[in-house]
Amino acid sequence: MDLRMKRTRKMLRDALWEAIMEKGFEGLTVSEVCERAMINRATFYRHYEDINDLLLRGIDEVFDEIYALGEPAYPPEKLAQYELTGPPRNFILFINFVGERAEFFRFMLSDRGLPAFITRLRAYVEELILERIHVSLRRDSTPLFRWS
């Protein structure tokens, strides 16, 4: 993708987030997003099918950024090198990412936010936790919990 296309998509995505945070997604139109991005409707439709397509791809791009922060899953042969006494590095990177975009996440996690975003975020956090449990169990044969 060339730089102009990347720039146009970024401008549309940023305009979408601004509009959603200002007035919510319900009733938001392509024209409103285009006006904010200073892009004409024909250009919008060269990149996206409709406002929902922009929204879903925008959410995907946020999560692409989040996944790009993390390290790959822990390979079994390297489990011993991972420190398990503190928070996982991926979690720290994720918290910093959220902190840098606090206004966006505050809105998205509010009652005015988007359920699709909240669902994806919940799945990501669960994945971080499950990966940590998996690493802990593979490194140490002692159980995490003792049932009496």
The pLDDT tens digits for 88-141 are 777 888 899 999 999 999 999 999 889 999 999 999 888 888 877 777 776 555
Give the global pTM: 0.77
DSSP percent split of the chain into helix, strand, coil, nearest 5: 70, 0, 30
25-44: average pLDDT: 95
Are 76 and 138 within 8 A, CB to CB? yes
The Cα–Cα gap between 54 and 13 comes to: 7
List the end-to-end C-alpha distance of the chain, in Å, as a whole number: 59
Q: Is 3-139 in CATH node 1.20.1090.10?
A: no
> What pLDDT shows up at residue 55?
94
The Cα–Cα gap between 121 and 59 comes to: 10
> What pLDDT shows up at residue 83?
63
> What pLDDT shows up at residue 45?
97
In the chain, pLDDT over 70 holds for what percent of residues? Answer: 82
3-state SS class at 15: helix
Give 56's pLDDT tier (boundaries 50, 70, 90): very high
User: Which candidate, 92, 95, 86, 84, places its Cα nearest to that of 139?
Assistant: 84
Token reading at 143: 């159980």
Give residue limits of the domains in the chain: 3-139
> What pLDDT shows up at residue 88?
72
